[in-house]
Structure 1
Amino acid sequence: MKKLFNLRKGLVLTSLLSMLFLAACNSEESDKDASAAGKDTIKLGLLEDHSGDFSLIGLQKLHAAELAVSEINESGGLLGKQVQLIAPDTQSDNTKFQELARKLILQDEVDVLMGAVSSASREAIRPIVEQNKILYFYNNQYEGGVASKYTFATGGVPEHQIQTLMEGLIKDYGPKVYVIAADYNFGQISADWVYKETVENGGEIVGEEFIPLGVSQFSSTISRIKDADPDVLITLLAGAEQSAFYGQWANSGVRDIPMGTTVNMAQAYEHLRFQPPALENMYVTATFMEELGKSDLEIAPKAQEFVDKFYKMFPDDKYVGMEAEAEYSAIMLWAKAVEKAGTTETDAVIEALETGISYDGPAGLVTIDGKTHHAIRNVYLAHSGKGHEITFPKQWEAIVPDWLSTEKGVDLTTKPEFVQYNPLD
């Protein structure tokens, strides 16, 4: 009898413990559900350089993001919620990029990650993005070739900039091309694209140099350029230090060699920072420059409206360049995709973006190419005169960045990839 009583007592105790355990589990799940349901903001993580070598561009992008988020929130937010911008300073330090990317993803639990000026910074965090399967926007001109299921690139790429630039310069000035480029993946791969397009247009590379980031003295480089006597000088320099080249180039007395670039003037406004004629006779294939607003192009009113809004919010800023526009337009594209998906869930937003989301903004219509995750956009040829006055002698409409899809068979809508292709592979 005593044995039976103890058995029943044990069964009752076991049952009670099970009920308590289940109650605790249900309570925990309820807390999670309540937390998710009660989440009153959508979090946008932004990694840009507020300080350091790339801060001239990074601050423009930060402020463009703040402008875009403020406009979205003033219009009612997304899915009935306000967008919260979390934007720590990455300090132009790739180790800091990695640390802050992990923090934003794992601790802050952002719904989307954007940012990076340099390609080195992008490549420092892309593996973290892919490991954590989070949506990432790289809103910057770059060397092209990234095929990643979780990455969308909204800035200019070689199809927009280098193909157009080299065809025109070789036709107008001659076949001999000298290239100086920043010594990291942006400069190296962009130089490969310049080589490819130079050869295809009947030209030749008569000199090529890769300059380490942080270098600001160019006397020996200028001497080698003079000795090579090129018809065209292509400059693919990056960062505040390397831009010192232009003042030294102007002081060298060379006046008859045109310069071509995909970055300078449109990014870090060297035509305003340096006294004329440092940037005389420079061409840049730009996706946006603030001077578009004063041009006679059809896009001028929209460009000027964006510039005016930017300076109203940030009156002490010095310039509104193409990466500011890329950041702003990317946030608007993301917002439209979130609204279409009806959620911030990564796969659903990617699927919405891949349908070809468009935004008609400061630089004209920008549309996501679903296969490559890059942007179909207009390109404007900008020229700097003797007094650094900017004119736009040519424009190209709706250039499709299709090298990845046509040459490499990339279709991210059907086959996820996580690589960067090179034009000379």
Structure 2
Amino acid sequence: MSDQAIFTEDFKTSPYWWDDAPPETCRDPLPAEADIVIVGSGFAGLNAAIELARHGKKVVVLEANELGSGGSTRTGGMISSGQKLVVGGAIKGIDPELFQRMIADSIASFAFIQALVEREQLDADLFISGRYFGAHTQKQLASLYKMGDILHRVTGVTVHNIDRSNQDAIIGSTFYHGGILVDEYGGVHPGKYNRALRELARKLGAQLFSHARVTGVTQQLSHKTVLTERGSLRAQQVIFLTNGYTDSKATPRLAQRIVPVKSYQIATEPLPAELIARLIPSGRMITDSRRDLIYTRPSPDGTRLLFGSRPGIMDCDDKTAARRIRKRMLAIWPELAPYRISHAWSGYVGMTWDKTAYAGEMDNARFAVGCNGNGVALMSWLGYRAAQKLLGTEPRPLSFERNTFRPIPLYNGKPWFLPFVTGWYRFRDAVDKAQDRG
């Protein structure tokens, strides 16, 4: 297949999720004042708006671009409980008592999103299917088994050790050397979930405005003034829930502490039902043990394969990334070679120095950031808990609210070091694979 032929005639460089649930524009004039201004219309911002509006607060949500156009609707839509804290390595160097509270909050986030979707009957395509972590090398299989034991012990999730001879019941590929299956994992349609949250927030009385980029917050004696590109408004409280889209102009100190890492994804054209059922039986989420990992899943309607990865050491445009990511996909499933790519897109993940989330006060406002690649459930929870903090209703202190959120050395908001990190990850992965063959 020629280079250009790998794309469908209607190929789009926008998220697959937007086909069913596109972002919104609302350029209505901003109100003069509000009780609470929320910056960001992602899962965190909308869940905060819902909780605050439910308790009678006059809430205004401001988005720099279209409502629902940021990282929340550019994600893979996977949800989990406390696994990411263990898998991502955050367990290292954290006080054991604090870590247990972080795990408890992470587990609560998984329960929260499920309960919210069910209670409010949100159209979100929520599906709890499990997630498979494939071993890129034989040596890494043993490491995955150990990690599975830790996951079960620390978080209480159900973990199954899978060897290569029987993994075809989970993934139709011989690429991996076995792996672990975690039952407590699932997915949503992030576009639909964001749209449903917008609808619920409005129903409860919150006001949502697009194209109202915030440029700063000033503290007055009796209120705060929120400055935007289309006017200013007064508020008693302000919350920045901007994660990987944190703006150094609006929140200069916060921007020194969170790194936006670009994540890329592609979607295939519709596949034969029998093929996708063989590639990923039971519709599970898939990732692997590489440092420069991949993540993949079927679309919620079971018609396409969605595949995410970094395209290389350097960032690039979405169409170039699609060509490179497709090669990584074909390494796992060569039988996808005849099928074309219909969508390619990217978005920013908010990363912190220790791979954990943070909440607190900075730049004359409250904040909650740092999904570290686990944002759907966690950011929903952090938005809800940020609202509880302002309402004075939180049942216990949030574990992620700490005074240890330090700026990243030599970082000015532009992640110049990411190519070096990615290159190092890929080099280590190549060495591991070469040793495995030897």
Verify same fold: TM over 0.5: no
| TM-score band w.r.t. shorter chain | under 0.3
Could you tell me the TM-score, scaled by structure 1's length?
Answer: 0.23
Could you tell me the TM-score, scaled by structure 2's length?
Answer: 0.23
Q: Looking at CA atoms only, which structure, 1 or 2, has the larger radius of gyration? A: 1
